[in-house]
Structure 1
Amino acid sequence: MTFLQSAVATRRLHRKLTSASTLVQRFTLVARACANSTSSQSPNGGPLAGIKVLELGHLIAAPFCGFLLAYYGADVIKVEAPGKGDPLRVWRELDVDGVSPWFRSLARNKKSVTIDLRQEKGRELVRQLALQSDVLLENFKPGRIERWGLGPSDLHPQNPGLIYTRVSGYGQTGPMRSVGGYASVCEAFSGFRFINGFPDEHGRPAGAPVRPNISLGDSLAGLHAAFGTVMALLARGKAAPGSKTGQTVDVAIYESVMAMLEGIIPAYDRFGVVRGPSGSSVTGIVPTNVYVTKDPSTYIIIGANGDSIYNRLMTKIGRQDLIGDEFRNNDDRVRNQETIENAITAWTSQISADDALQALAEAEVPSGRINSVEDRESHA
């Protein structure tokens, strides 16, 4: 099943919330299924088949981790609050069942139970589930789950092999552990937001820095959490037989975003360079940019930053005069960026997007349209 097919099938794969009256019965069935599950018996298949995951996460960050683990075969049980469930269920557009497709995309391949973590009876059910789990995921504010008696120090003595994966804004320790941290705030704190948008004459953001229209920080944190979880499972598998060495995986949203900043921090540390926004291009790499075509509303992307690719591009657009010693490598082209960008724009603006992309494909120059989701889904 492809990634897209899996998303479409989520309505069939995700179970609805149980009512309080059926909670104990559902818990018993789930616990028995977990206890009997093996790698060969898992209905999901995949490299994580037989791994049992208890997800106490809500909204995006921890559920994104759970979605990745489930996609690769883990048996994920998602715990939701009775009556309303995960708040993401009713965010943005709702389908005929009154459920958000956004929620369904993260809940695919999971099973759901309702447990009230504010009640001791509910917390005891979680402890019983945790006893039979390989992984526990949570993204509550640091300290809250400890107050419920469900922290790592509470669960590891009973299940020493448990991988306890935690996602928060700023981590479980340190001076900012108690600060609330949604993705938007953590993206700003990390330095990521500063480099988005178009620059002013001083290289700083011209106006308010823009954001990608997705919760990028949450997804990156979920991705790092999934990677850390799998590494902890790998380490546990390499431990001496019977040792059941579990770990706590501590993921901060801001650090997950900061890890994507390439050489920005080392460049500042070594050279004092503060990288600002670069509009539709990327600092220090030429040419890679967005170019207008004959239809002013249609843009294409061209990435010709490899030396031989650049030469093929210049040949295709009839600008062999821009091939030579002054344009031999990327450093040379950065120094001549304006000349190169003007030459490419002069060519793309005179032809249609289809003709430009066909010509670039013939020259083996990476290029493509900027698609909306409608464009992407209609693409054969």
Structure 2
Amino acid sequence: MKPLLAALVLLCVAGVARAEDYLDSPALFAAAWERLAGALPQDTVALRVEVEPARIGLIALAPEGGAASWQVRRVRLLLAMDRLEGPEVVAPPVPGTSPEAAGFAVSDLAMERLPDAVEAARMRLDPRGEAEVRSVTIARRLEVGAAPGQGALRWVVELEASGQTLRVELGPEGAPLGLGEAATGAEASGEGEDWPDLLLPDGVRLEEVQAGFEALLPPGALVQDIEIDRERITLSVAAPDRPGVIRQLRWERGRFSPALVDLPERLALPEAGRLGPFRLSDLRLAEVPRLVIAARRASGHREVRRLHGRLVPGVRAERPVWIVRLAEEGAPPGAAGEWEVRLAPGGALLGVVEPGR
């Protein structure tokens, strides 16, 4: 082999052997981030930061209006190097919201926290260290009606292990801030599958759904409402960092996903002022089919539309109960005249409220 060709081969092999990336090399990331930040206009207002193994991207308010993106890519030819790109005009990252409300100063980002955020996510969702970190996204969690800059900054770390995608949301100090996501590859879209009715026996394994919720909720999370219909389960959870704000986490067709926007209690759950908080472990989703049977029997075999798990002050010694909403067979959704059956965990009848009472 000619000396020059041999040298080129050695360079390529060495480059592959040392193929570090932005998510596993703090030094490599720090140098690339410094280069990207140095290319930004003064007083840039950022909307979103994304860090992937070979890419760091930032979307910000453009001086002339709209949004623009800058990015640094890790490219490997004979040697690995960082390539700066941008600015490029792009659409705002959250359509339908005010870019100003989502903005934050680049100087507010403690990017030296990146390794800590990744490690916190591993401790939360991957204690064995088997998952591959796919990305870290930093953005402001929006709240309906919030003033610009009011929502908390969140770090969302995405990992993948054994075909499963895991996401966890972290606050500025690395503690779980909100709700995470989890979905297996086949379940993530739900396309092409006929998912069973959640209100029928022998359908979805609801004990596994509850375990998934428990893993994704922040420690000590307080639930305001569990709503179950034929296709989905929605938890309304008190935001640990924002009193009076509700965050929602939904399971639908095999996928857990948090709502993109926080909501004040009065919008997310108009009855919130009359409800008390409880822990998800206080109720068992696995007993839903049994509750459906008990509610139908108590209401004269009417059609179950949805269930709520709630703590209603003055009912059952300040412990949560199940509230089942029923209607006449074939009545259109939203029609007046719903029955309400209240059941204790396990299915014991607590009361029946007929329409108009």
Tell me, yes or no, whether TM beats 0.5.
no
Kindly indicate which of the two structures has a greater share of residues assigned to strand: 2
Q: Which has the higher contact order (CA 8 A, sep 6+)?
A: 1
Q: TM-score, normalised on structure 1?
A: 0.24
TM-score with structure 2 length normalisation?
A: 0.25
> Which protein is richer in helix relative to its size?
1
